[in-house]
Amino acid sequence: MFNDILVGGRDMPIWLSLLIAFVLAPVLALLALRLLHTLLDRILANGQARVLRRVIADGRIAVQISVALIAVEVALPTVDLPTAAEQAASRAAALGLVAAIGWAMTRKVAAIFDAYMEGDLGEDADWLQRRRRTQLIVFRRLAVSAGVLLTAGVVLTAIPAVRAVGLSLFASAGVAGIVAGLAARPAVSNLIAGIQIALTQPIRLGDAVVVEGEWGHVAEITSTYVTIATWDQRSLVVPIAYFTERPIRNWTKTSAQLLDTAFVYVDYTVPVDALRAEARRILEASPLWDKRVFAVQVTDLTERSVEIRVLMSAANSGAMFDLRCLMREQLIAFLAEHYPKALPQARLSVTEVRAA
């Protein structure tokens, strides 16, 4: 029946053919799409095919616009419009369709990455999880950027006026190309750096790093910059190319587990064995210690004090910071209570001189 309507559309009143082309056809197409989505949702309602469910759910508006524009393109020949008006409407619908399909495809591709990235990445996540998350984020952004650029390029080149302007800009003796190349250099550099980071993994989400003298965690990796969350809740934003061009200190490159030290400065009279026993007691009583490494050593001597280093381990950087602070606090309290004379002090010798 609908085919008969389309074939006989030229003999219909103009208002009826417009109603069919721009209202009835899109509505029928959207209803069919809705039925298809409902059927797929019921089929996948058992919790399986998580990635497929995410792909179907994301970008539905873009898919609906695409289907509606396809219906308009199919029904447009039934409208008895002047040739110029019909061509303009057809071109507008075609351009909108290209943009909508590009939008839908970009959302679907992004949904695939998002499905694999579902779930929070905790601080104690192992390095394989953080490596995988970093790669997915970088490649997702690259895929989305490529989809946007490709769609925009197709749409713009389909517009004669814009295409003519673009060709005229590059008609000079290579000057425009040189200028464009120079202008695009930072963007290209960041793009290449993003690919390098995704493949070689010098940093990952959650890594504890030292950048420009600032210690913090990698909180965000985008296609152009990396955000470092410092210990005092500041955000250090660094160009992504920085991490492929300069040396950085990554404390958790191969594992989230850390070794670190707490230094204590005491007098020469300190009983080192008693201090070592107290340090072990502090660690064994704390859930922050992962029981891998412990050592107490005299690492330096000055004219007034002894430097004692307490080496310890923890499961992640946050636990390590708290454990170091705990060790300092309790060792100071221990010395003040049991060996107050072992705290750093300055000795002054007075010699009495009598007149002859």
* Per-residue model confidence (pLDDT) at position 1: 42
Query: How many CB atoms within 10 Å of residue 117?
Result: 13
Q: Write down the domain spans for the chain.
A: 1-118, 124-253, 258-342
User: Sign of the CA dihedral 333, 334, 337, 343?
Assistant: negative
Task: Measure Cα distances from 84 to 167, 264, 311 in Å.
Answer: 26, 87, 82
Measured CA to CA, the distance from residue 356 to residue 354 in angstroms comes to 6
* CATH for the stretch 258-342: 3.30.70.100
Collapsing DSSP to helix, strand or coil, 299 comes out as strand
- Cβ–Cβ under 8 Å, residues 78 and 5: yes
| Chain segment 73-102, per-residue pLDDT in tens | 887 777 766 677 677 777 888 888 888 888
- Cβ–Cβ under 8 Å, residues 164 and 291: no
Collapsing DSSP to helix, strand or coil, 154 comes out as helix
pLDDT tens across the length of the chain (356 residues): 444 444 444 555 666 666 666 777 778 888 888 888 788 777 777 666 777 878 888 888 888 888 888 888 887 777 766 677 677 777 888 888 888 888 889 888 888 888 877 755 555 455 567 677 777 877 888 888 888 878 887 777 777 666 654 445 444 434 444 444 444 456 667 677 777 777 777 888 878 888 888 888 888 887 788 899 887 888 899 988 888 888 888 877 776 677 888 999 999 999 999 999 999 999 999 999 988 889 999 999 988 889 999 999 988 777 888 999 999 999 999 999 999 888 888 777 777 766 65
CA angle 186, 192, 194 (to 5 degrees): 100
Task: Measure Cα distances from 183 to 175, 224, 235 in Å.
Answer: 12, 15, 28
* CATH for the stretch 124-253: 2.30.30.60
DSSP code of residue 76:
G
Q: Each residue of 49-63: b (16+ CB within 10 Å) or e?
A: eeeebbbbebbeebb
